[in-house]
Amino acid sequence: MAGLKDAKIVNFFASPFMIYTWPDSDALNDGLREKILAQEQITGGEAKSRSNVGGWHSDSGLLEFCGEAGKTLIARMIEMADGATRQTLAGRNVPPFNWKLEIWANVNRTGDFNRKHTHGFSTWSGTYYVDDGDPPPDAEHGTALELTDPCQSRADTFFATVLPPGIYIRPVPGLMIIFPSHVPHMVYPHNGKRPRISIAFNLIKDPFP
């Protein structure tokens, strides 16, 4: 009987993620924080969406109310999406396309969180952290973003007691993460000393899909 010395595991259905902390982001984050908190005061009220429980989020757009700071962040979103796409599609002959963007700011205070959800009809989704809100370091997950396996049957049956059910991204100012929009994710209740400020975004391949 032939041995298995040349047999290798290949991951066919892995989900690509890119995580990067942009350097020298303090001044950018100061500008974003000021504009976002001012916009919250102008619009008022709690966030109204299928995932928010408490908190506030801006209307979806292109961060027009953030001025030059918003434009700088959008350039970083596109740069990161382009890089992640190049690596994901390496070796494939892909016709040129553009990105459509949907962006909104989020402010969570004590107890605010986001239910598990996905972002339909998009290609990449992501989050950028302006302020982590100074959560306690000994909290189990802090005020983390949790991302889980998009294939529930796989998560329930394939080494379910051994493989982790999800990954946890603890916010760091300047950190940006992008992931496929079909990946379920949620945000744990905030328990920090300051408001937790993040900017969520979708990048939609044009033409889609």
User: Does residue 3 fall inside a structural domain?
Assistant: no
User: Does residue 27 fall inside a structural domain?
Assistant: yes
Whether this model's pTM surpasses 0.95: no
User: Does residue 1 fall inside a structural domain?
Assistant: no
* CATH for 184: 2.60.120.620
pLDDT at 122: 97
Which pair of tokens denotes residue 180?
A: 């496929």
Domain range for residue 145?
A: 18-87+99-206
Query: How many domains would you assign to the chain?
Result: 1
Which pair of tokens denotes residue 183?
A: 């990946």
pLDDT tens column, 101-145: 999 999 999 999 999 999 989 999 999 999 999 988 765 566 899
SS3 21: strand
User: Does residue 4 fall inside a structural domain?
Assistant: no
User: Does residue 92 fall inside a structural domain?
Assistant: no
Other CB atoms within 10 A of residue 19 CB? 14
The owner of tokens 């959008």 is: 74
User: Does residue 167 fall inside a structural domain?
Assistant: yes
Summary count for the chain: helices (H), strands (E): 3, 11
- Determine the Cα–Cα distance for residues 182 and 107; give it in Å rounded to an integer: 23
Q: Output the CA–CA distances (angstroms, integers) from residue 152 to 71, 74, 149, 160, in the order listed.
A: 37, 33, 7, 11
User: Does residue 117 fall inside a structural domain?
Assistant: yes
pLDDT tens column, 64-88: 999 999 999 999 999 999 999 999 9
SS3 72: helix
- Classify the C-alpha dihedral 38-40-41-42 as positive or negative: positive
User: Does residue 147 fall inside a structural domain?
Assistant: yes
